[in-house]
Structure 1
Amino acid sequence: MNTIHVRPGEGRHYPMIDGDHVLKATVADTAGTFEVFEIVAPAAPMAPPHISPWTAVLFLIEGRVTALVDGKAHDVEPGGLVVFPAGTPSTFEVVGASARFVAITSGDGAGRFFADFSRSVPADRPAEESMAAILSVTQRHGVALAGG
């Protein structure tokens, strides 16, 4: 495996309805693959819980979020961490003006999903107006809305 070095501000940006997802690295070696993202999220209504085929570890850097994992709310402050297990209904809501966190996801599917989502769903429109596009993208990547 080659060394990966990403400077502040660098990475592939995927603007989405719940914030800017910046792919910092995809790391693959004999132990497996994972992706590292920096996410800057504005205050917005909580997205419906969704079920992803990858596990996500969120480490909060700035701001506060309420994470909803399998129906249980967790208040996360800077320096706190929450895990969204694969196959578990999960979402988050920013408490305050904005939040910034590092997300590490298992496998390499989250980056493909974020790229497709950012191309297919306008980031500046309410989710309700884009539901057909959202459902199309989620189906392509094995992501489901909880209860849907």
Structure 2
Amino acid sequence: MLIADLYIRVSTDEQADKGYSQRDQHERLERYCNQNQITIGQVIFEDHSAKNFNRPEWTKYINHIKKRSLKSNLVLFTKWDRFSRNAGDAYQMIKLLLGNNISPQAIEQLLSLFLSWAFLPQETTYTNATRHCMKLFVFIIEFLLLKLDEK
């Protein structure tokens, strides 16, 4: 059974300039969960920049994860820039989440399809070289997607 926490983030300027409201993100995430038979755990609303992970609601969420007080196995957001705008920080946070059996996924960007391949458990038959190539592939895609979102 898949249980997803929904992460919804905007910055005030972004919301005003692009009309990318929390309500719109919430509706899209709920629709995705309903269409894919995913149970919704908690919904996290954040009004903070994504330049790093020093965000109040995200910090609370990570603390719950570390205490293992959540039953979810996914954290969903609409696009990768809702998660992070810093690829290095994002990579570290993805490792932390996956280490706690929570898979981050952007529902509107292809990258989420590759995450499970890039962070395969060590006990798989893939060689370290293959794993590193897959991680590099994910990093390159993430970088390109972030650059496209900036335009």
TM-score normalised by L of structure 1: 0.30
- Give the number of the structure whose residues are more often strand, by fraction: 1
- Give the number of the structure whose residues are more often helix, by fraction: 2
